């Protein structure tokens, strides 16, 4: 198994993908805080490696959470994270399929965990972005979980598409 590497540059989604890849490794291979930072440092290359060489001298014994703060300050500035939160706050299904909308929802929800930190909040936020035709079909069901809502929205969307084909 090869850990992901990160070379640097202001490419927020690459930085985020690297962090998610590293955290995935931590789920399989439990590490101490110091080991997490050592593993991270090992996977940094080029510009990111140079950044770390400068950063580590000023921050000895850095815990993982503080490493992440410094990393995000450098490679995923707060103003860019704020834009992701705003995008999530205003996210609507629009012309996307339910599956496409849910993928965008899941990607952006990471940047606003306070908005989806309970199943109830997650359900309400997801429903709030659905097209009216789909929302009208599932809203009356008052489904309790996100999984239930997602399943029913996919079914409702399929029914709407099937009905529109019959009417053509």
CA distances 149 to 35, 143, 152, 162, Å, are 40, 6, 5, 20
Task: List, in sequence order, every residue forming a beta bridge with 44; answer none if it has no partner.
Answer: 6
d(CA 32, CA 114): 27
Tell me how far CA of residue 61 lies from CA of 19, 35, 40, in angstroms: 19, 10, 14
Instruction: Please give the residue range of the domain that contains residue 124.
Output: 80-167
Rounded mean pLDDT of 54-76? Answer: 91
pLDDT above 90 (res 97) = yes
Number of domains comprising the chain: 2
Same-domain pairing of 99 and 136 = yes
At 149, is the pLDDT very low, low, confident or very high (cuts 50, 70, 90)?
very high
What would the mean pLDDT of 43-54 be, rounded to a whole number?
Answer: 95
Flag whether 4 is in a domain: no
Task: Name the band, by pLDDT with cuts 50, 70 and 90, for residue 61.
Answer: confident
User: What's the average model confidence in pLDDT over 81-87?
Assistant: 95
């Amino acid at each position: 198994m090869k850990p992901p590497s990160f070379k640097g540059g202001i490419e927020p989604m690459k930085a985020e993908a690297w962090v998610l890849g590293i955290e995935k490794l931590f789920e399989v291979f439990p590490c101490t805080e110091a080991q997490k930072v050592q593993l991270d440092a090992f996977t940094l290359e080029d510009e990111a490696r140079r950044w770390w060489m400068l950063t580590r001298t000023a921050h000895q014994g850095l815990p993982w959470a503080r490493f992440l703060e410094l990393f995000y300050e450098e490679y995923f500035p707060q103003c860019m994270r704020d834009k992701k939160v705003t995008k999530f706050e205003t996210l609507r299904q629009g012309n996307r399929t339910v599956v496409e909308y849910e993928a965008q929802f899941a990607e952006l929800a990471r940047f606003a965990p306070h908005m989806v930190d309970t199943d109830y909040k997650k359900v309400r936020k997801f429903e709030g972005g659905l097209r009216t035709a789909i929302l009208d079909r599932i809203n009356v069901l008052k489904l309790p979980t996100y999984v239930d809502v997602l399943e029913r929205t996919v079914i409702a969307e399929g029914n709407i598409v099937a009905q529109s084909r019959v009417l053509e």
